[in-house]
Structures are given as C-alpha cells and as structure tokens.
Amino acid sequence: MITIEKALELVLLHSSKGVKTKEISLSDGLEYVLASDVCSEIDMPPFRQSAMDGYAVRIGETNRYKVIGEIQAGDNSTFLLNKGDAVRIFTGAPVPDTADAVMMQEKVNIEGDTVTIEAPLKIMMNIRPKGEQIKKGTIALPKGTSVKAAHIGFLTGLGITTLQVAEKPTIAVVVTGNELIQAGQELPFGKIYESNSAMLVATLKEFGYCNVQVISIKDDYGSTKKILATTIENFDVVIVTGGVSVGDYDFVGKALNAIGVDEIFHKVKQKPGKPLFFGKKEETAIFGLPGNPAAALTCFYVYVYPFLKKYEGAEDAHLLTISQPLLHHYTVIGGDRAQFLKAKIQGDGVGILGAQSSAMLSAFGTANALVFLPENSTELLKGEIVKTMLLPN
Ligand code: AMP
Ligand code: MG
C-alpha cells in the first residue's frame, strides 16, 4: 500500500504523452487546454478610449471650456482641440489626440456651449490608453491555460476566432456489479440502481469531456477480462468502478493483470478509496475506482481530474489547496489512514460535513471542498488550521 503523495506523483508521471493538438473555433473552446500561446493581433483598446460619459478637454488656464463638438461611441470623427476647448464625449468613444483628460458629466456645469469643470483635472484621467489592456503581438493567454468563459470573452474582444488546443482523451466509464440495475426499472430485492456512471459522466462533462462511453460488466471473471481488453484497446482512459477490492467477486484487478496491464499501484493508504488501482497498457491509462459512490467521486477529484488536466498539458493540474481554520471541534475516526473529508468552506473557515460514509453521496451535494487530514490525526480543535482542497467548478 502506498501513500497518497506517492500515488499522486505516479499518476501525474504517467499522464504526459505529448498529446495531439487540433484547431477549434473559439466558441467551442470551453474547458479545452491551449496547446500554444495566443497572441493578440490588435491593441486593446484599439484607440484612446473614453471611460466616462462627459467632456474631453485640452486643459486651459481657467475651469471654463468651450464645447466644439461631440463624439459618440462608434464614431470615427475627431477634433483638434486648443487649450480651453472641450468635446462632448461618451463612454467607449475615441478621445481626440489633442485632449488631455475626460471629466465625467456629473462634475460639470453646462451653459449653452460652455462647460464649467467643477473638479480637479488630471492629465489622462478617464482616458483608457491605446493598448492599456494588451498590446498587439503580446501574449493574451499562455499555452496550458484551461479555457473558461472569461477567456472566451477576452479573446473574442481581441478578434480571435480559433484556438489551437490539446485533443481530449477518449474516455470509457466501466461499471461492474451483479447488483446494479438501470434507474427507470422496478427495483427487485437485492439490487440497487447503478449511479456511478451517471455521476462520472456528469462530472467529466463539467470539465469538457463530452464523449464518454459507458460500459457495464457483470461480476464474472471471463467477461470482465474480455470486455476490459477491448475497452483498453479502444480508449485513451478507462475508468472502472467497483470490483477493485479484495472480495471473492472483485475481478477487476485480476482481469487487468491477466490481460497485460502494468499495475502502477493498487491500494493507497487513504480513506476513502483504499482499493484504488492505477495502471497502463501501452498508451491507455486505467483507473480502478472503488464502487462506493462517494469514494469513487473522491478518487476522481483527487487522482483522475489532475491526470486528465496534465494529459492535456494544463499548467495547473492540481486541486487548489488552501489552509483554513476549522469551524468546530472534530474527533477523527479511523485516523490510521490519511483522510479526505467532504467539507464546506463558509464564513471564516471550513466545516467538516456529516454523512462521511463512502456509500453516501448526500454530503457531496453540500461540499465545496475536501479537508485533508494526515495519517494519525486524532482530535482536531476548533480554529485549528487544516489543509483544504477546493473542489473544481
Ligand atoms: P465494490 O467496490 O464492487 O465492492 O462495491 C462497493 C459498493 O459500491 C457496493 O455496495 C456496490 O453495490 C456499490 N456500487 C458499486 N458500483 C456501483 C455503481 N456503479 N453505482 C452505485 N453503487 C455501486
Ligand atoms: Mg462489486
């Protein structure tokens, strides 16, 4: 059994493979990882721009200015201002080169074509310089960025329409268990509704992995071997849930071994997720997650998510970890293994939620973080600082 740190190190070590890249349209870019730097082809803003509705002025001797014209947003007209001249101007409009400042309209007094400026003027006030946000030819977003909605807005504003991104891996989610039936049917005694695939498909979708195939296997050694062998041949990443533990009908480990998967580790000293398996066959990575839904989701966030991010070349593959004061006293149960506890950051700290059982998903509905407790933790005092991993999205 290896430590969490070692397991994570091994997962990341085996995830970089010089992934293929492709060009996509920017509007489809959400959650893709940039395969090259994106440079701006324009200055932004492209011209000196007014940040206010008001008056552009060339600073004169008195606070009285003569209004010589008007420039609306979108106009391409300009004016030559002499000292003491003003131009009526609106937010987003081009400021004439001869204007020194823009005074907001709330701070002027208008009489006919004369305005009296009632607040101190400073050179360049309320003028956004050309290229203030970004200069033509410089990097707007570096390679390795995971594209979010704000990036799409930013790049669209620079006139960019396509991106070079890492291709996403093809992913199979394989569920195992004779007890599993599909929701929508009557529930016979002894069976449960299969829910891991729906949970993992939805989680993967949140990170932009939309083409995920779900495959089901019964607890039978022969079919487990056969189905896993073809799945591994056809996908870049295979995520199996259930059947990875030590029960008589847990065939996943044995089957993977028999079909020539290199076991990188099997079993991690952690709670939940002790039976976690990770292996590789040629370029395909295989994760064996525990069948218990909350354990499977925890292992997904802690191991599979960083693997996928690194696979695509993301700059920051780890879950963001911060230090937080604990909001209450907590007695650790089963402290012989390091633990990930479903938790909620709120107010000035983090609270560990109830219903921590691996079989119960309810706490994940409220959680926005996992508190990490190292091995041999016992009593935690209110206010004690704990390592807190933020759940992505
Ligand atoms: P296993 O890891 O196969 O021993 O399964 C551990 C527990 O998780 C058992 O109670 C299973 O019934 C349950 N389980 C396994 N796979 C799923 C699944 N796909 N959906 C919901 N529960 C599952
Ligand atoms: Mg099982």
CATH number where 12 lies: 3.40.980.10
Given a cut of 80, whether residue 17 has pLDDT beyond it is: no
Given a cut of 80, whether residue 393 has pLDDT beyond it is: no
Check whether residue 292 and residue 338 sit in a common domain.
Answer: no
Q: Does residue 83 belong to any structural domain of this protein?
A: yes
Ligand with the closest atom to the CA of 183: 1
Q: Does residue 26 belong to any structural domain of this protein?
A: no
Strands (E), 81-126: 85-89, 101-104, 108-111, 114-117
Beta bridge partners of 386: 324
Check whether residue 197 and residue 306 sit in a common domain.
Answer: yes
Burial of 145 (0-12, 13-18, 19+ CB in 10 A): buried
**Which residue, 267, 291, 311, sits at the end of a domain?**
311
Answer for the pair 70, 113: CB distance below 8 angstroms, yes or no: no
Query: Domain range holding 212?
Result: 4-19+167-311
pLDDT of residue 315: 87
Burial of 169 (0-12, 13-18, 19+ CB in 10 A): buried
Check whether residue 211 and residue 249 sit in a common domain.
Answer: yes
Average pLDDT over the chain, rounded to an integer: 97
Instruction: Report helix, strand or coil for 236.
Output: coil
Tokens (6 digits) for 172: 């199979």
Check whether residue 151 and residue 183 sit in a common domain.
Answer: no
- Who contacts 150 (Cβ-Cβ below 8 Å, separation ≥6)? none
Check whether residue 305 and residue 342 sit in a common domain.
Answer: no
Check whether residue 246 and residue 306 sit in a common domain.
Answer: yes
Check whether residue 189 and residue 214 sit in a common domain.
Answer: yes
Global pTM? 0.94
**Which residue in the block uniquely carries the two structure tokens 């007014």?**
50
Check whether residue 179 and residue 262 sit in a common domain.
Answer: yes
**Which residue, 311, 338, 354, sits at the end of a domain?**
311
Query: Cα torsion at 354, 358, 363, 368 (round to 10°)?
Result: 110
Check whether residue 91 and residue 223 sit in a common domain.
Answer: no
Check whether residue 72 and residue 95 sit in a common domain.
Answer: yes
Given a cut of 80, whether residue 16 has pLDDT beyond it is: no
Say yes or no: CB of residue 243 within 6 Å of ligand 1.
yes
Given a cut of 90, whether residue 376 has pLDDT beyond it is: yes
Q: Does residue 175 belong to any structural domain of this protein?
A: yes
Say yes or no: CB of residue 219 within 6 Å of ligand 1.
no
**232-283 confidence digits (pLDDT tens):** 999 999 999 999 999 999 999 999 999 999 999 999 999 999 999 999 999 9
Check whether residue 58 and residue 187 sit in a common domain.
Answer: no
Given a cut of 90, whether residue 18 has pLDDT beyond it is: no
How many whole angstroms separate alpha carbon 281 and alpha carbon 243?
19
How many whole angstroms separate alpha carbon 322 and alpha carbon 244?
31
**71-107 confidence digits (pLDDT tens):** 999 999 999 999 999 999 999 999 999 999 999 999 9
Q: Total domain count for the chain?
A: 4
- Who contacts 349 (Cβ-Cβ below 8 Å, separation ≥6)? 324, 325, 326, 327, 383
How many whole angstroms separate alpha carbon 278 and alpha carbon 291?
15
Say yes or no: CB of residue 179 within 6 Å of ligand 1.
yes
Query: What percent of the chain is predicted at pLDDT more than 70?
Result: 100
**292-312 confidence digits (pLDDT tens):** 999 999 999 999 999 999 999
Check whether residue 154 and residue 111 sit in a common domain.
Answer: no
**Which residue, 261, 286, 311, sits at the end of a domain?**
311
Nearest to 299 by CA among 265, 267, 272, 334: 272
Query: Domain of 116: which CATH number?
Result: 2.170.190.11
- Ligand 1, from 180, 266, 361: best to mutate by most atoms within 8 Å of Cβ? 180
